[in-house]
Amino acid sequence: MGEGFENLVELRIINGSAKSTVSSNSTGDSSDRDERPLIGGDGDFGDSDSGSSVSGAVFNLSTSIIGAGIMALPATMKVLGLLVGLFAIFAMGIISEYSIELLIRFSVLCGSLSYGDVVESAIGYSGRVVSEICIIINNAGVLIVYLIIIGDVMSGNDKHVGVFYQWFGHTVLDHRTLVIFIVLILFLAPLCSLEKIDSLVMTSAASVALAIVFVIVSCLIASIKIINGTVKAPRMGPDFSSKSSILDLLVVIPIMTNAYVCHFNVQPIYNDLKGRSAAKMNKVGRITTILCVIVFAFTAVSGYLLFGDDTEPDILTNFDKNLGIKFSNGLNYIVRVGYVLHLILVFPVIHFSMRQAVGALVFRETLLVGKKRVWGLTAILLLLIYLGSTLIPNIWVAFKFTGATTALSVGFIFPSLIALRLGNPSDSSDFKLGETIVSWIMLVFAVLVSIVGVVGNVYSLRKSSA
């Protein structure tokens, strides 16, 4: 990538942890560099001819995106309106894909093993620490949201009836905290204890399949109600008629950006990609983005058409009442129970990168190794996440704050900074002036959205406590 970028990346394994050092005085054209293995290179980090396939990597990356965020999208559609909401979904998908490719490109340059590695190469160790803290807070918030949804759907809350009550009546399973604890011990702890992310390929594939089932059922119900003429005409744009509507508008874009953030899992997924190369990882990113944009668009539109202005922040809680069509109860159970199973399978993928970030801060290791460390850290993190799920009232609160701060940082601010610090169009034929301008636009956009989102969240909290 020009004389300023012609570096030979040598990975040295020191005391069990991977360190990357860069030495100059090497030459080579940009096409060679683009095909160079993204992380480590053959023989430096495992065997590039073993690991997950492109489809397996797509499943893992898609699972990182299609989690609980999809459940909040119909509520964002209620705020933005149908046309503006669809535009935002497609626009955020394009921006997210661009930032992923920036991350991949400069990980090639730096030989990075993790998200923190490439951040450190661009802005130093302090930047790495901040980025890893952002990953920890963001992923912890997402995992807390998963547990809240699982508890609300299965045990119910003050406004909605739980599945267990509908099946068995009043039992001990009415207690949300107990149900969450049982799920944590029986299902989540064993999956989260796995040491490599490619061990989760099959569960990720199952989780994507369950998400698609949810989309199909939701679209089917919406289509039947449209044919029956029982769907109200949707609003096409935002509502500016009241202060509360404008306030919701300020915080809804950060929630949408949160839905696309998967950047923390790019390097871990690449580490286990068979025959890894930058071109192959870009292919994974593009397929994943297309898949997720389609799923998000259909989910948001069908959910908003079904429930209109009554759409809840977590749309799953809308599926506890009669939908006005045949087999309503059965379809409700398929949607709710199926998506709870989906979240259980997504949970360990998001937990993996959070555990790696904590390990990097605590043990100063890019890659956390050793069963005792992995299991011990997993147990501590799961306990803290469980406690968090008992304190946060609903997913809208969690998404508003993580979306406006850590999600924007991980997904857009840090990738922009990495590109602007390591890319120099004056001496690089690869990183052009236009890409520099786009990176600046993405950075400014992310910072502005973050500021507006935080201000809106603070004002919303003050208003609700008044």
**CATH number of the domain within which 258 lies:** 1.20.1740.10
Which tops the pLDDT comparison, 371 or 247? 371
| Tokens, residue 340 | 């709870």
So what's the pLDDT on residue 326?
81
Decide if 326 contacts 162 (C-beta within 8 A).
no
Taking the C-alpha atoms of residue 67 and residue 400, their distance in angstroms, rounded to an integer, is 16
On the question of pLDDT at 383 being above 90, the answer is yes
Is the Cα dihedral 27, 32, 38, 40 positive or negative? negative
Q: H/E element holding 368?
A: none
pLDDT at 424: 66
- Residue 177, pLDDT score: 87
| More confident of the two residues 158 and 55 | 55
| Domains contained in the chain, number | 1
Q: List the single range of 273-277, 391-395, 412-416 with lowest mean pLDDT.
A: 391-395
- Report the range of poorest mean pLDDT among 58-62, 94-98, 244-248, 277-281: 244-248
Residue 460 pLDDT class (50, 70, 90 cuts):
low
The tens digit of pLDDT for each residue in 162-204 reads 788 888 888 888 888 898 999 999 999 999 888 877 788 888 8
Would you say the C-alpha torsion 398, 403, 407, 413 has a positive or negative sign? negative
Encode pLDDT of 34-83 as tens digits: 343 334 443 344 455 566 788 888 988 888 888 766 777 888 888 888 89
CA atoms within 13 A on the CB side of 234: 27
Domain region containing 370: 3-465
Arithmetic mean of pLDDT, 370-378:
83
Q: Is the pLDDT of residue 375 over 70?
A: yes
Q: What is the mean pLDDT of residues 22-32?
A: 37
% the chain with pLDDT above 70: 79
Cα–Cα distance measured from residue 148 to residue 371, given in angstroms and rounded to the nearest whole number: 29
pLDDT digits (tens, 9 = 90+) for 232-256: 878 887 777 666 666 667 667 777 7
pLDDT at 205: 87
- pLDDT bucket at 18, cuts 50 / 70 / 90: very low
What CA–CA distances, in Å, run from 321 to 315, 327, 331, 341?
12, 12, 11, 20
Mean pLDDT of the chain: 78
Residue 385 pLDDT more than 80?
yes
- Region 199-210: mean pLDDT is 85
pTM assigned to the model: 0.78
Q: Average pLDDT for residues 91-101, to the nearest whole number?
A: 90
Contact 377, 368 (CB under 8 A): yes
Instruction: Say which residue, 85 or 38, is predicted with more confidence.
Output: 85
pLDDT in tens, 327-336: 888 888 888 8
Note the pLDDT of residue 255: 74
CA dihedral 371, 377, 381, 383 (to 10 degrees): 80
Query: Is 142:351 a contact under the CB 8 Å cutoff?
Result: no
